[in-house]
Structure formats: structure tokens, C-alpha cells
Structure 1
Amino acid sequence: MTLPLGNDAAHAAFADAMASGSLHHAWLFAGPEGIGKARFARAAAMRMLADAMTPGALPPGFDVPEDHQTRRLIEAGSHPDYRELVRMPKESDKTGTELARSIPIAQVRALLPLFAMKPSLSPRRVVLIDAIDDVERPGASNALLKNLEEPPAGTIFLLISHAPGRLLPTIRSRCRLLRFDPIGEGEMRGIVGAQLPQADDAEIAALVRAGNGSPGRALGFAGLNLAAIDSALAGIARDGDRSNGARVKLAKALALKAAQPRYEAFLDRAPAFIADAARNRQGERLRTALDSYDTARALAASARALSLDAQGTVFEMAGLVAKLAA
């Protein structure tokens, strides 16, 4: 399994811990969403189980041969000593694409029969939770805490967190923290360019800006012509759009039913655009930008929660961008 680019120091630190022979029973992989924490955790889990099954048979690193039994079982979803807890599709969603809001206590309790037995194929088992932020509180979190406080023999927990500060202190205190940092701009361009070979330079640059160090976030905007949205925002911020023409044009374009994904992207991008502008300002101009940013974030949250009229929301949001020209 190929490791995600970036965060070499975090990868090396975990490799050293694996090689030490005294691996802590619970790890908290913490950092912004979309930077490769879960992908690395899955690679580390596969390698730990492979090493436990065939000690000393594999060279250093995280690679596991395609014909190794551990890899075949995990990729088939049938490894008896590996479990993942993730948000499941909503029962009411027949497409299976809409996920539940949280990981409920029932999923955590489903691990109990596993912990009642010894690992099957080696002395080790791995439980990966992506993400621990999604575990329902307080019931599911407390049920998990009991296992972290008294870990079953041979069990390693890998917990993914995008916001570790929001976790229960008792969960954080049971884990060894491994920090993952945003990916640098150069590496971001390489990742996005490799994944989207047909994208032009302007679109790649817009995706990198929107990703803000997160390849996963950047690629989530792929195919939405984010460069055009950024260009429209830049024009409004530059001249203030006194005639309202640019705002009306943008609002009408993003209000179309077929433009819903681009509208969702706009709700993310506009507040971020204002925040970027604020970094280069001082005095009254900075205060104006910060006020606009706070209002834009609140408007984006309300637009999603209350399903506000798209055309009106875009026009109002673009008006906040126009204040940057004042």
C-alpha cells in the first residue's frame, strides 16, 4: 500500500515505535482532514498484522506484498483480527451514499465479542476508528473508553481525529499523540496534478488554494471549475461591484439546480477567500475583512442548516466580498 505524500516525520516516528517492540496500545493520529491520516493508519495496520503473522519476513517499511495472506484478507474485508469503525450509510438512504451523523454505541459494543477471544492469526489485532470525532457522546465514547483503559491483550487502537481538542480528555490521555501537518504547496500541486492530469494550471492553483494543505479537500472540489469562482470573487473584491452586475451574474449561475455542487463549493470558498485577504491587511481594512469573514462563516452555516435560497445567499455572500474593496 503506497503511503500518502508528506508527513515523513510522523511516518518515521510510528515506524520507530513498531520496530522498538514496545508499541503503545492506543494512538491518536491528529491533524486536518484530508491530509492522509486514515490512509497511513490503514497501511500501518496492515503492516503490523503482517509482521505479527510472519515475524522478520518483511523488509523495513510499511509495504506488504500483494500475495501476503494479511493483505489478501484485509482487502477482502475478512481479516478476523482487524476491525474498522466508520460512519455507516443511513438506513433511509437507498443509494448508500449518505452517511449517518455519528458512530453509535451499537457499533462500539459490536467489538465486545471480538475482545472476548484471543486474536486468531497472530498475537495481535488492530482496531481503526475513522474518525474518533464521530463517535457518539456520551454513550459510545464511554464504552470505547473502557477498552482504552483496559486494553484487550494484543490489541492496538488507531484513532483518527480531525479536531483532537474536542475529544474527551480521558480518551486523549489514554493515547499516544502523533501529529500530521498540512501538506506543503509544492507537494499539493504534485498530488493534485497527478490525480487530475487534464486540469489546467489555473484550476490546479485554485484547487491547491481551496485545499489549504489538504489534498483530500482539494480533490473534493475537482470538476467544479473552482478557478472561475475564484476569478469572480477576485473581481468583486478588486472593484467592489458598485453596479451589482457581477454579484447578480454569479448568483444566477450558482442558483441553477445543476450547479448545486458548485454552490456548495462556493459556500466553502467565499469565507476562505475573505480570510486569505485578511492576512495582508492592517488597521481598519483588517477589521473590515475580519467582520466580513465572521459574517460569511455564519451565513454559510445557516445556508446549509436552513436550506436558504441559493441565489439570495450567493448575492449576500458576494456583497461581503465586495466590502474588501472599500
Structure 2
Amino acid sequence: MIGHEQAEQAFIEAWQTGRLHHAWLLAGPQGMGKGQFAARVARFLVTHGRSGDGEPIALDDPGDTAAGRLVDAGNHPEIIHLTRQIKDKGKELARNITIDQVRGVIRRLHLSLSLGEWRVIIVDAVDDLETDGANALLKTLEEPPARTLFLLVSHSPGRLLPTIRSRCRTLRFQPVDRDVMTAWLHDQRAMLDMSEVRAIAVASGGVPGKALALIDSDVSAMEKKLLAIASSGDPGNRLREALAREVGGSSNRARLELVIDIVPSLISQLVRERPIAEIAPVLAQWDRVQRNVRDAIRGSYDGAMVGFEIGNCLAELAPRQGQAAR
């Protein structure tokens, strides 16, 4: 993944000097590859010794091949994942990581290491811990077992218990510069037209995972639908109703996220095209979209309702008849 260079350097330097903090908070937007980084760190630790000898080494150095094969097979006994579980007889994930899951991991920490010199606990994401689970994890972070490393993935570190944050060393994963993202995307999907690559780089906000998801979606088709609402005003609600159907329901969550991702850049495009006197109303709708999205994310929201409301914001941007005549 792109954008991990500073985090890799910080971790390797700590390991080389033998001053490896027992808990690391991997903080940044969802889609930056923090979970993948945690997996790479876990693999590195269980395939290497406690610290380096001063020689240059990379995070993806293979190390012990036997341990590496166990990691590849998902069977290494000292890498423990703490994440939301699939609900009974269903396909959806549970809402939270439960206190029982945390207690189960804590019981394992009392056992001796069965292989190698490190045990690694990956919590992905720590934001998903229910309150009792967060408090139980905090007690373990306050009195960590020897030769145990915690990797806490967080998309919203500001929402964590301050006491959890204070027990961790933070690695921040920042959005990637637009030009770097454009070049990387072109390497990933060389068959795409550069104009589409640039549009995706802008819409992704510098988040690689989001950019790849946008590529795998039909971005241009969705943009045309949204621009049709903004240009016509959709007087009969037909386009907005179709949009609501397309993004409604749990099975269409990816389409809803696509709309949420690309609408700000579409509105920015409209701002650049409008006369100065018409910019203020366009910016007002941009702010309205942002408020609606924030309110939706905070609650358990209905995708169809969010999609229709975004359509309402775009419909407000349609030129009035008098303006169109000019």
C-alpha cells in the first residue's frame, strides 16, 4: 500500500534499538491500509528476534521461513485478531467487539509463548469495542504482559477513551498527496483514461482504499446520474427516486458510499462553472450535503433517505428558468 513509509520507518527504528512500545495506535481515515500495516508488523515480529543488530532491514524482510509459512496459512499461534464477528446464521457483522471476545483474548495472554519471541494482538478496529470491552482492554494495556505487542487500528481516534490513547504510541496515516495518488492509481490500473484517474484521485480524498473502491465502481455512470439531477432540477422526482432505490438497503451500501465520495467534487466542479454571483447558493448546498452525511454516519441511517436528500441538494443547484434563458 501507498502512504506507509513514515510509519514503517518509525516502527523499524523502535525495533532496531530495542525500545519497542508495547501498544501502537494506528490512526487515520478508513481505507489507508492500517489493517494491512498491522498484519505486516505482526508478520515481521513473529519471524524475527526481539531487536535488530543495527543492519538495515525492511518491514517485509522474510525472516524465519517456517514461521512465515504459518503466517501465510493463517495458523501462527501468536498472532491474535480481535474484530467484529459474523452474527449467528447470517452474513452481517455484529455491531461491536464484545466484552466476552476481549476476555477470551486476555485469558490467552496468561499462557506461555508457544512459538517465537513475540505475541501480537491486532484490534481492528478498536473503535468497535463496546464500553466494557474498552475498559477491559485498558486494564491490560496498563499492565501489559511481557513480549506482547498491541496494534490498535482506529479510524476515529478522537472517540477513544483518552486513557487508551495515552497508553499507546500513535502512528498517523495521512491522506496521500493528489499527484502521488494519481501516479499510483495509473500504475494500478493502467488501462484507465488519465482524466478518469485524476477524477478518482480527487474524489478519494487521498485515501488509497477508497480510490480502489471507486475504480471498481462505475464512477462515470453515477456522475452522469447526479449531474442530471443538478442540471435539470428533476421536477418530477423521478431521478431522485431512482437514486434512492439504487443506494438504499444494506446490500447497496457501497453505492451509497460512492455517492457520498463523489458529490463534493461534483459540487466543486459546479462552483467553478458558475458566475461569481451564483457561487454562494452552490456552497450552501455543499454545506448541506456535509451536514446530512455527518448526521447519517452518527446514526443508524436509511441509505435510501440519505440518497434522496443528497438528490434534493443537487436539484437545488439547477439553473432557474430565467437563468437558463440567459
SS in structure 2 at match of 1:51: coil
Q: Is 1:126 the counterpart of 2:108 in the alignment? A: no
SS in structure 2 at match of 1:28: strand
Q: Give the drift of 1:20.
A: 1.1
Q: Is 1:212 the counterpart of 2:205 in the alignment? A: yes
SS in structure 2 at match of 1:305: coil
**1:51 matched residue in structure 2:** 48
1:244 to 235, 258, 261: 235
> Quick one: distance in 2 between partners of 1:275 and 1:317?
11
1:266–1:30 CA distance, 2 compared to 1 (3 A): closer
Q: Is 1:79 the counterpart of 2:76 in the alignment? A: yes
SS in structure 2 at match of 1:127: strand
**2:94 matched residue in structure 1:** 100
**1:264 matched residue in structure 2:** 256
**Is the contact between residue 270 and residue 321 of structure 1 (CA under 8 Å) also seen in structure 2?**
no
Q: Deviations over 1:247-267 (max 9, x none)?
A: 634643663699946742454
1:126–1:278 CA distance, 2 compared to 1 (3 A): farther
> Quick one: distance in 2 between partners of 1:145 and 1:303?
26
Q: After the TM superposition, which of the residue ranges 16-25 and 277-286 deviates more from structure 2?
A: 277-286
- In the TM superposition, what are the counterparts of 1:267-278 in structure 2 within 5 Å? 267-269=259-261, 272-273=264-265, 276=268
1:192 to 179, 185, 193: 185
Q: Give the drift of 1:234.
A: 4.0
1:314–1:31 CA distance, 2 compared to 1 (3 A): closer
> Quick one: distance in 1 between partners of 2:114 and 2:298?
50
Letter in 2 for 1:127: I
Letter in 2 for 1:305: Y
Q: Give the drift of 1:304.
A: 6.8
Letter in 2 for 1:120: S
2:130 to 109, 128, 136: 136
Percent identity, please: 35
1:202–1:250 CA distance, 2 compared to 1 (3 A): farther
SS in structure 2 at match of 1:111: helix
1:286–1:255 CA distance, 2 compared to 1 (3 A): closer
Q: Deviations over 1:4-55 (max 9, x none)?
A: 2223222211111111111111110111111121111211111122112897
**Is the contact between residue 99 and residue 136 of structure 2 (CA under 8 Å) also seen in structure 1?**
yes
1:293 to 269, 274, 289: 289
Q: Give the drift of 1:76.
A: 1.6
**Is the contact between residue 78 and residue 119 of structure 2 (CA under 8 Å) also seen in structure 1?**
yes
Letter in 1 for 2:168: C
**1:64 matched residue in structure 2:** 61
Q: Is 1:89 the counterpart of 2:86 in the alignment? A: yes
> Quick one: distance in 1 between partners of 2:233 and 2:254?
25
Letter in 1 for 2:177: G
**Is the contact between residue 15 and residue 51 of structure 2 (CA under 8 Å) also seen in structure 1?**
no
Q: Deviations over 1:65-108 (max 9, x none)?
A: 38712211112222122111122212131xx4x22221111211
**Is the contact between residue 206 and residue 230 of structure 1 (CA under 8 Å) also seen in structure 2?**
no
Q: After the TM superposition, which of the residue ranges 215-224 and 10-19 deviates more from structure 2?
A: 215-224
> Quick one: distance in 2 between partners of 1:174 and 1:112?
17
**1:177 matched residue in structure 2:** 170
**2:245 matched residue in structure 1:** 255
Provide structure 1 residue ranges, at least 5 long, that are not aligned to the other structure: none
Q: Give the drift of 1:307.
A: 5.7
1:296–1:248 CA distance, 2 compared to 1 (3 A): farther
Q: After the TM superposition, which of the residue ranges 124-133 and 216-225 deviates more from structure 2?
A: 216-225
**Is the contact between residue 7 and residue 183 of structure 1 (CA under 8 Å) also seen in structure 2?**
no
> Quick one: distance in 2 between partners of 1:13 and 1:279?
41
Q: Is 1:115 the counterpart of 2:109 in the alignment? A: yes
Question: How many residues in Structure 1 have an aligned counterpart in Structure 2?
Answer: 313
> Quick one: distance in 2 between partners of 1:314 and 1:132?
29
Q: Give the drift of 1:302.
A: 10
